[in-house]
């Protein structure tokens, strides 16, 4: 598998930006399965809608569903940002 | 005939359940082990059936208590028919669960609920094609408005065991190769074979290397994740075959979050919502109490006269007090509180509160979802403790429950306003609430030091705003009230009986002496002992008994302002009432419950001493 160097942690995207998920790095099986059940799995296109204040969570849309993720989880999801 | 409703959270499953059961039959509810399973009898086209509403789950992989309960129920209880309820507007995501359910080999009907929502999003779904691909009847409904129910009833007898398309060849090969391996394994005997094999592949620690290779796991890959991806890929293929997305303009609803989830603008609205929640609760509660209490008191007097004066008669009169206290607290305050909370929840605002306060809760070592049990705690601690089930992580559940019991419930509110509010002014009472929040926050930070966060943090779906239906709001309110009625009320009645008995037998002096351990360091009069001891049974009793022990309701004449403050602070924090202890026992076992009891009592002593020092200094 080629390593894609343009991949960023999801938490680095700015509000409004879209990207496709490149990898979900755990932590652990339970979290990966839960994220996968919400549609957050490699290949899925996500759009960041906004951030909570402070070190607050990230609000994003995937497959027409809105999902809130803590920063800790969002850091472990790598995305390839869409060029706009 | 037993029919199980299975679907993801927010799919409108409970609305459908209420529509099926509520119309023609009285729902009879039984609590599950840790997560609620609702059962109701219904007559479906003349045939009697038991309809079971399983907790909302994203998948059958046993990740959290809800998923475990749902899976065990489907495998162990004889389920004749699965109704898979899908929120049509998120069909793509929902189909993974459908594929998992198909592996169980139980006849199934698929319900595309919230068809209006899908249309609103511009999603066109070809029902016939989906039905063809899955091999089961597919009907679309709008359960909240009762649309499509007739169609569903017609489809039920045509339920079939699903025959979805196969997974990719390598997975199908792996399934074939693994089948002999689990034969004779007691763990898997009696399970539907396809489900058993896939469970074996995803949950067994050491599956043979050739099978891992077959699945394409490599050295590090997790078979469970690979199989989940496999289902997702198949779901996506099916979705592309049956659905078409037409662009629509985002409506007003989509723009609501621009304000209500805005990093700054959201907070005034949040405060307003919380203010209205409490303000309306007190307004409506006061109104109801004014209507109810005089009647109850008059009735109580009459019964008391009839009972006479013996020891047993006095004890029975005590039990009656407990019965009436339940009506006097439960109906007036809990009812409006839980009604309004259910409204906030069904509109979709409650998860948003979780999002908005996640940053704050993070600093306390918890995350946004914990806010829901905390808010519930202002009503009654019992439903608050039970609501910690929504948290995935065990450590989060424990800490949230331990903290939620320190939130002043309706009964403690009686003490705060009856003592501090009345004699020291409403602002002091309000300040106590703020001090309480501060103390809970400090306790949270301390607990986070001792038990570092292990959970992943917030992972929460934010459902779209929806018009609530009266039926689901009433259903939810009843569920939470029922926890009070079933758990707290009997203890209230029993303990009032014991209390009256102790009084009739003249035990107070002994109890006062025993309670000196607390009343002496706190600088409270010895007579405050009995109220504090029996406050464990019912916290609002502490005030009533204090009046009895002192022989007056004019507390100001016998207690200094400092003593009133100390008494109230101690009452708020010390050991949760017996009903709450019962709920804690059910949720976390006796060791941890004991820890909570000792911890809160210790904290109450510290804070009480602090209040004493403070009042001496002022």
Whether B308 and B385 map to the same domain: the answer is: yes
pLDDT at A2: 53
Task: Give the closest residue to A67 by CA, choosing from B188, B462, B346.
Answer: B462
Q: How far apart (Å, rounded) are the C-alpha atoms in residues B543 and B553?
A: 9
Task: Give the closest residue to B422 by CA, choosing from B597, B598, B242, B557.
Answer: B557
User: Which strand (E) or helix (H) includes residue B42?
Assistant: strand B37-44
- The 3-class SS string of A39-80 reads CCCCCCEEEEEEECCCCCCEEEEECCEEEEECHHHHHCEEEE
Residue among A38, A65, A69 minimizing CB distance to B458: A69
Domain boundary among B124, B158, B192: B158
Dihedrals φ, ψ of B559, to 5°?
-115, 145
Q: The domain spanning residue B119 has which CATH number? A: 3.40.50.300
* Contact of B353 with B475, CB cutoff 8 Å: no
Whether B78 and B124 map to the same domain: the answer is: yes
CA distances from A56 to A48, B180, B262, B349 (A): 14, 50, 12, 17
- Note whether residue B448 is domain-resident: yes
Domain boundary among B112, B132, B158: B158
Q: How far apart (Å, rounded) are the C-alpha atoms in residues A42 and A44?
A: 6
Interface of B to A at Cβ within 8 Å reads 8, 58-59, 61, 63, 89-90, 92-93, 96-97, 121, 123, 222, 224-225, 228-229, 232, 257, 261-264, 351, 354-356, 358-360, 362, 367-368, 392, 456-464
**Would you state the structure tokens that stand for residue B307, as one six-digit string?**
């009972």
Query: In this predicted model, what pLDDT tens digit does every residue of B589-598 receive, in sequence order?
Result: 899 999 999 9
- Note whether residue B163 is domain-resident: no
Residue among B63, B263, B355 minimizing CB distance to A68: B355
Question: Which residues in B lie closer than 8 A to residue A34 (C-beta atoms)?
Answer: 58, 63, 392, 456, 459
Our CA-based measurement puts residue A52 at a distance from the nearest CA of chain B, in whole angstroms, of 5
**Would you state the structure tokens that stand for residue B554, as one six-digit string?**
């004019």
Residue among A27, A37, A72 minimizing CB distance to B58: A37
Q: Spell out the domains of chain A, with CATH numbers in brackets.
A: 8-81 (2.30.30.90)
Q: How far apart (Å, rounded) are the C-alpha atoms in residues B25 and B46?
A: 12
Range of the domain at B451: 266-617
Question: Which residues in B lie closer than 8 A to residue A52 (C-beta atoms)?
Answer: 263, 355-356, 358-359
Question: Which residues in A lie closer than 8 A to residue B90 (C-beta atoms)?
Answer: 63-65
Our CA-based measurement puts residue B320 at a distance from the nearest CA of chain A, in whole angstroms, of 48
pLDDT at B333: 82
DSSP B465: P
- Note whether residue B229 is domain-resident: yes
Question: Which residues in A lie closer than 8 A to residue B396 (C-beta atoms)?
Answer: none
Question: Which residues in A lie closer than 8 A to residue B222 (C-beta atoms)?
Answer: 29, 32
Radius of gyration for the alpha carbons in chain A, expressed in angstroms and rounded: 12
Q: Where are the alpha helices (DSSP H) in B77-191?
A: 91-102, 115-120, 127-134, 149-155, 169-182
**Would you state the structure tokens that stand for residue B476, as one six-digit string?**
């939810």
Q: Do A64 and B97 touch (CB under 8 A)?
A: no
* Contact of B3 with B74, CB cutoff 8 Å: no
Residue B457 zone, left/alpha/beta (φ > 0; ψ -120 to 50; rest): left
C-alpha B478 chain-centroid distance: 12
Residue of A nearest to B57 (CA): A37
HSE value, Cβ hemisphere, 13 Å, CA-based, for B210: 7
**Would you state the structure tokens that stand for residue B597, as one six-digit string?**
């009891």
pLDDT at B27: 37
- Note whether residue B373 is domain-resident: yes
Question: Which residues in B lie closer than 8 A to residue A37 (C-beta atoms)?
Answer: 8, 58-59, 93, 96-97, 228
Interface of A to B at Cβ within 8 Å reads 27-39, 41-42, 49-57, 59, 63-73
Question: Which residues in B lie closer than 8 A to residue A29 (C-beta atoms)?
Answer: 222, 224-225
pLDDT at B62: 61
pLDDT at B125: 93
- Note whether residue B250 is domain-resident: no
Q: Do A29 and B368 touch (CB under 8 A)?
A: no
pLDDT at B136: 95
Q: How far apart (Å, rounded) are the C-alpha atoms in residues B347 and A2?
A: 45
- Note whether residue B260 is domain-resident: no
Q: Do A37 and B225 touch (CB under 8 A)?
A: no
Q: Do A37 and B92 touch (CB under 8 A)?
A: no
Residue of A nearest to B358 (CA): A56
Residues of chain B with pLDDT under 70: 22-36, 62-63, 219-220, 250, 329-330
Whether B143 and B174 map to the same domain: the answer is: no
- Those residues whose C-beta lies under 8 Å from the C-beta of residue B542, and which sit 6 or more positions away, are B415, B531, B532, B534, B535, B567, B571
Instruction: Beginning with the edge strand found earlier in the chain, give each strand of the sheet holding A58-62 in spatial order.
Output: A8-9, A77-81, A18-24, A45-51, A58-62, A65-69, B459-462
Domain boundary among B158, B180, B215: B158
Q: Do B224 and A33 touch (CB under 8 A)?
A: yes
Task: Count structural domains, chain B.
Answer: 3
Whether B386 and B530 map to the same domain: the answer is: yes
DSSP B124: E
pLDDT at B112: 95
Whether B339 and B475 map to the same domain: the answer is: yes
pLDDT at B81: 94
Q: How far apart (Å, rounded) are the C-alpha atoms in residues B604 and B570?
A: 5
pLDDT at B34: 42
Our CA-based measurement puts residue A69 at a distance from the nearest CA of chain B, in whole angstroms, of 5
Q: Do B459 and A35 touch (CB under 8 A)?
A: yes
* Contact of B384 with B377, CB cutoff 8 Å: yes
- Note whether residue B256 is domain-resident: no
Q: Read off the pLDDT band of A25 (50, 70, 90).
A: confident
Q: Do B263 and A53 touch (CB under 8 A)?
A: yes
Whether B232 and B289 map to the same domain: the answer is: no
Whether B447 and B373 map to the same domain: the answer is: yes
Q: Do A29 and B121 touch (CB under 8 A)?
A: no
Residue A62 β-bridge partners: A46, A65
Whether B84 and B210 map to the same domain: the answer is: no
Whether B534 and B479 map to the same domain: the answer is: yes
C-alpha B409 chain-centroid distance: 16
- Among A28, A56, A67, A77, pick the best mutation site for testing chain B contact (most B Cβ within 10 A): A56
pLDDT at B239: 93
Whether B122 and B207 map to the same domain: the answer is: no
Residue among A32, A57, A65 minimizing CB distance to B225: A32
- Note whether residue B281 is domain-resident: yes
Residue among A59, A65, A71 minimizing CB distance to B90: A65
Q: Do A69 and B457 touch (CB under 8 A)?
A: yes
**Would you state the structure tokens that stand for residue B567, as one six-digit string?**
């008494």
DSSP B16: H
Cβ neighbourhood burial of A37 (10 Å; 0-12, 13-18, 19+): buried
- Among B222, B225, B253, pick the best mutation site for testing chain A contact (most A Cβ within 10 A): B225
Q: Do A50 and B89 touch (CB under 8 A)?
A: no
Q: What is the ipTM of this complex?
A: 0.91
Our CA-based measurement puts residue A6 at a distance from the nearest CA of chain B, in whole angstroms, of 23
- Among B198, B354, B362, B396, pick the best mutation site for testing chain A contact (most A Cβ within 10 A): B362
Question: Which residues in B lie closer than 8 A to residue A36 (C-beta atoms)?
Answer: 225, 228-229, 232
Whether B184 and B45 map to the same domain: the answer is: no
CA distances from B180 to B160, B183, B194 (A): 27, 5, 12
Whether B138 and B189 map to the same domain: the answer is: no
Interval A23-47 mean pLDDT: 85
Cβ neighbourhood burial of B270 (10 Å; 0-12, 13-18, 19+): middle
Query: In this predicted model, what pLDDT tens digit does every residue of B432-455 receive, in sequence order?
Result: 999 999 999 999 999 988 888 777
């Amino acid at each position: 598998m080629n390593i894609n160097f343009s991949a960023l942690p999801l938490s680095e995207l700015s509000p409004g930006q879209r990207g496709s998920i490149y990898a979900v790095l755990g932590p652990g099986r339970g979290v990966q399965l839960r994220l996968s059940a919400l549609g957050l799995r490699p290949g899925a296109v996500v759009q960041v809608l906004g951030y909570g204040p402070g070190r607050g969570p990230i609000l994003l849309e995937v497959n027409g569903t809105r999902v809130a993720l803590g920063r800790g989880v969002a850091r472990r999801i790598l995305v390839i940002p869409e060029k706009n | 005939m037993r029919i199980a409703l299975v679907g993801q959270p927010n799919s409108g499953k409970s609305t459908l359940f209420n529509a099926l059961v509520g119309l023609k039959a009285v729902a009879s509810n039984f609590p599950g082990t840790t997560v609620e399973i609702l059962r109701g009898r219904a007559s479906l086209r003349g045939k009697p059936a038991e309809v079971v509403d399983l907790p909302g789950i994203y998948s059958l992989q046993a990740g959290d208590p809800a998923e475990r309960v749902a899976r065990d129920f489907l495998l162990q209880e004889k389920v004749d028919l699965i109704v898979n309820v899908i929120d049509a507007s998120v069909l793509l995501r929902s189909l993974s669960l459908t594929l998992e359910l198909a592996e169980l080999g139980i006849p199934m009907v698929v319900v595309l609920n919230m068809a209006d929502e899908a249309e609103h999003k511009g999603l066109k779904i070809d029902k016939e094609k989906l039905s063809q691909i899955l091999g089961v009847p597919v009907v679309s409904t709008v359960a909240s408005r009762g649309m499509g129910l007739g169609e569903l009833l017609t489809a039920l007898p045509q339920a079939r065991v699903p025959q979805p398309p196969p997974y990719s060849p390598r997975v199908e090969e792996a399934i074939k190769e693994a089948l002999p391996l689990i034969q004779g394994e007691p763990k898997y005997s009696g399970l539907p074979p396809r489900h058993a094999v896939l469970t074996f592949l995803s949950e067994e620690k050491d599956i043979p290397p050739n099978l891992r290779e077959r699945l394409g796991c490599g050295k590090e890959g997790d078979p469970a994740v690979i199989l989940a991806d496999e289902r997702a890929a198949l779901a996506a293929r099916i979705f592309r075959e049956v659905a078409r997305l037409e662009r629509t303009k985002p409506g007003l609803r989509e723009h609501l979050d621009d304000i209500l989830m805005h990093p700054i603008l959201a907070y005034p609205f949040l405060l307003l919502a919380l203010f209205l929640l409490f303000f309306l609760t007190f307004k409506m509660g006061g109104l109801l109490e004014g209507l109810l209490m005089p009647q109850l008191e008059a009735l109580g007097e009459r019964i008391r006269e009839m009972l006479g004066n013996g020891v047993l008669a006095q004890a029975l009169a005590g039990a009656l007090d407990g019965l009436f206290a339940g009506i006097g607290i439960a109906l007036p305050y809990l009812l409006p509180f839980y009604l309004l909370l259910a409204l906030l929840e069904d509109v979709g605002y409650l998860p948003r509160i979780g999002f908005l306060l996640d940053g704050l809760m993070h600093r306390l070592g918890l995350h946004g979802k914990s806010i829901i049990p905390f808010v519930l705690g202002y009503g009654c601690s019992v439903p608050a403790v039970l609501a910690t089930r929504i948290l995935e992580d065990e450590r989060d559940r424990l800490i949230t429950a331990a903290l939620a019991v320190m939130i002043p419930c309706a009964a403690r509110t009686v003490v705060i306003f009856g003592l501090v509010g009345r004699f020291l002014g409403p602002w002091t009472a309000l300040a106590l609430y703020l001090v309480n929040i501060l103390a809970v926050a400090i306790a949270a930070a301390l607990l986070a030091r001792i038990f570092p966060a292990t959970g992943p943090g917030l992972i929460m779906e934010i459902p779209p705003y929806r018009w609530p239906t009266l039926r689901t709001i009433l259903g939810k309110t009843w569920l939470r009230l029922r926890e009070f009625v079933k758990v707290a009320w009997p203890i209230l009645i029993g303990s009032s009986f014991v209390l009256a008995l102790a009084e009739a037998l003249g035990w107070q002096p002994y109890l006062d002496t025993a309670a000196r351990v607390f009343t002496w360091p706190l600088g409270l009069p010895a007579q405050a002992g009995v109220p504090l001891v029996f406050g464990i049974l019912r916290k609002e009793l502490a005030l009533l008994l204090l009046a009895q022990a002192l022989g007056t309701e004019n507390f100001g004449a016998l207690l200094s302002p400092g003593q009133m403050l100390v008494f109230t602070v101690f009452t708020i924090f010390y050991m949760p009432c017996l009903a709450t202890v019962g709920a804690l026992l059910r949720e976390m076992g006796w060791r941890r419950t004991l820890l909570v009891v000792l911890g809160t009592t210790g904290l109450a002593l510290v804070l009480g001493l602090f209040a004493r020092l403070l009042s001496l200094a002022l």
